Amino acid sequence: MVQMIPPISQPMAGGSTSPIMLATWSFGVAGCTDAWPALTAGGSALDAVCAAARRAELDPTVNSVGYGGLPDATGRMSLDACVMTGPANCGAVCAVAHHLHVADLARMVMERTSHVMLAGNGADAFADALGVAKSQLLSADAKDAWRRWCTGEPPLPSVDAGGDPREHQIPHDTIGVLAIDSQRHMAGACSTSGLPFKLAGRVGDSPIPGHGLYVDPAGGGAVATGNGELIMGVSGSFLAVECMRRGATPGEAVEEVLHRIDHAFHPRAHQQVAIIALAPDGRWAAGALRYGFVVAVADAAGIRTELPQCVLHPQKESLE
Ligand code: ASP
């Protein structure tokens, strides 16, 4: 499937020149809706992906991003994020404990420092130094869910009502966004509170360039969501973009990532990974290990959700 590497500046053929936005999960629709008017009025892809991330970070009903996200095993919240427009233009923060808009903070790391990633206290201190207001990240509902989890009760009753085994009800729904603007520039962002009830100190794929997010104008962009450990094992987003840079279609790139994860990890039924790949010309594809994932799409045809084109294990149970 992987073909000869084209010269790095070679544009891909076909596709559309009008703006497009893609985001993970159904709550990505709200972010696309917020960002789309400015993007279609000539705004930048970077502004659009950060605006979409902010929307999920603010939404208390999204329990794996920003305020309302579920804490770690000790009851503490930590947020991770990454933004990227190319291999030399990337910023990230991880284990942020006191600031909500971590995608914006990652952008500040990218634009105002010579570094790529700031972690923990250093990331919070960086935000303080820039005058970013502190936020309470742990919502009352998330704290209650954590208390239930500590006592062995189902943390999220609504999912439990479906009768799934308890381990199946743990959500993992990073907001990952990719956009192309009218100047044909691409940007990506992702923002997450990470896996719920994770070990304190655990950092997943989302803030790490090449794992949860990768953008290379020579190949395209990719964002991943799901069990970060599986994504990190194959450098999932980098792999998807590199496949496209070597000539694969977005669909082939997504399938390659999912097959590599499947081969390496033999994922268990409750483990989900989903990935979206966007070529520089606007062609895109999404795929997932199993049912439950949807992609939010904003393009000339409107703003909507679509099912992934590829589900590797359609016969296994859904996560939703
Ligand atoms: N990939 C994220 C992580 O492992 C979780 C998610 O997608 O919700 O931290």
The model's pLDDT over 28-78, given as tens digits with 9 standing for 90+, comes to: 999 999 999 999 999 999 999 999 999 999 999 999 999 999 999 999 999
CATH number for the domain spanning 92: value is 3.60.20.30
226 lines ligand 1 (CB under 6 A): yes
Interior angle at CA 120, CA 116 and CA 125, nearest 5? 85
DSSP string computed for 185-231: -EEEEEEE--STTPPTT---STTSBTTTEEEETTTEEEEEEE-HHHH
- In angstroms, what is the span from residue 133 Cα to ligand 1's centroid? 25
Q: 155 in ligand 1 pocket by Cβ < 6 Å?
A: no
Structural domain total, the chain: 1
Instruction: Tell me the three state secondary structure of residue 11.
Output: coil
User: For tokens 């499937």, what's the residue?
Assistant: 1
Instruction: Match 């959700």 to its residue by tokens.
Output: 305
Of 65, 205, 211, 319, the one to substitute when testing ligand 1's pocket (max ligand atoms within 8 A of C-beta) is 205
> What is the percent of the chain with per-residue pLDDT over 70, rounded to a whole number?
88
Q: For 198-232, write each residue's pLDDT tens digit.
A: 999 999 999 999 999 999 999 999 999 999 999 99
CA 99 – ligand 1 centroid, Å: 19
Phi, psi values for residue 177, rounded to 5°: -135, 140
Which amino acid is present at 241?
A: V
Out of 17, 33, 151, 174, pick the active-site residue: 174
User: Which pLDDT does position 315 carry in this prediction?
Assistant: 77
Residue 62 Cα to ligand 1 midpoint, Å, equals: 13
- CA atoms within 13 Å, Cβ hemisphere of 52: 38
Sequence-distant (6+) residues with CB within 8 A of 50 are 83, 103, 104, 107, 189
174 counts as catalytic = yes
Probe ligand 1: pick from 70, 195, 261, max atoms within 8 Å of CB?
A: 195
Those residues whose C-beta lies under 8 Å from the C-beta of residue 126, and which sit 6 or more positions away, are 93, 105, 108, 109, 113, 118
Give per-residue pLDDT as tens, 105-155.
999 999 999 999 999 999 999 999 999 999 999 999 999 999 999 998 888
The CA distance from 130 to 301, in Å, is: 39
Task: Say if ligand 1 is within 6 A of residue 173 CB.
Answer: yes
Range of the domain at 71: 3-319
Distance in angstroms (rounded) separating the CA atoms of residues 308 and 257:
14
Is the distance from the beta carbon of residue 172 to the nearest atom of ligand 1 less than 6 Å? yes
Please name which of 100, 105, 130 lies closest in space to residue 117, comparing C-alpha atoms: 105
Is the distance from CB of 212 to CB of 195 less than 8 angstroms?
Answer: no
Asked if residue 273 has pLDDT above 70, the reply is yes
d(CA 48, CA 39): 6
